């Protein structure tokens, strides 16, 4: 895996060496400059929870309920029921959607391998509830928090989602949504560029925000 964190620089930032702005230009994100191995398999994206994002989200959900999209049955998707677990679920979404083609990356009898294998064929709701009840993950999460250097805040105002590719389409996976969002065609070669198109939509809805982070 190659993980790259990028942040959108403040409008006043001029230096390309600051805030990883070499992958973000004023015209938008430019995947060409990421300099990461291709093909990328998944993108985890963090964005701020603001009124404008929530208004768009509500409108989008209404439209998806009224006009369901086509979603590949290969998409591994789960709901989020545990509080402040969107980062964990974003990573599980990323890994769960590459499991079939990258099984050697998963250790035998590891939590992730067992979780993905044991939940094949279950509904997103069933998988989400099983994750919430999993004591091993809860203990691992607590241990990681205890070892961390930053203070844990209950009032979280940012949210992680995951972008993956399955059957020639790019999907937005957000455990707080009822269904995946199909953002249209993509290929292994153009996946990163297609992800920037989706990410740019979030940024353009909140042009004065700078709290955006991407992991590839």
Q: Which of 86, 93, 162, 195 is the catalytic position?
A: 86
Q: Which of 93, 159, 162, 195 is the catalytic position?
A: 159
- CB half-sphere exposure, 120, CA atoms < 13 A: 9
Question: Is 195 noted as a catalytic residue in this protein?
Answer: no
Question: Is 159 noted as a catalytic residue in this protein?
Answer: yes
The CA angle 111-114-118, to the nearest 5 degrees, is: 140
Which residue numbers are catalytic? 86, 159
């Amino acid at each position: 895996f190659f993980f790259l964190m990028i942040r959108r620089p403040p409008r006043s930032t001029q230096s390309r060496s600051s805030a990883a702005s070499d992958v973000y230009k004023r015209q938008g994100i430019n995947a060409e400059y990421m300099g990461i191995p291709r093909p990328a398999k998944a993108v985890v994206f963090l964005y701020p929870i603001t009124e404008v994002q929530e208004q768009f989200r509500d409108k989008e959900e209404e439209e998806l309920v009224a006009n369901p999209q086509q979603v590949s049955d290969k998409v591994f998707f789960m709901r989020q029921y545990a509080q402040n677990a969107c980062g964990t679920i974003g990573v599980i979404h990323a890994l769960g959607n590459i499991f079939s083609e990258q099984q050697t990356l998963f250790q035998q009898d590891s939590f992730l391998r067992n979780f993905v294998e044991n939940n094949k064929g279950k509904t997103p709701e069933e998988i989400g509830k099983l994750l919430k009840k999993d004591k091993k993950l809860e203990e691992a999460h607590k241990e990681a928090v205890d070892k961390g250097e930053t203070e844990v805040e209950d009032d979280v105002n940012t949210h992680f989602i995951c972008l993956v590719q399955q059957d020639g389409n790019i999907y937005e996976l957000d455990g707080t949504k009822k269904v995946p969002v199909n953002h249209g065609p993509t290929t292994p070669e153009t996946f990163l560029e297609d992800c920037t198109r989706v990410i740019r939509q979030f940024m353009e809805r909140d042009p004065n925000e700078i709290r955006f982070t991407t992991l590839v």
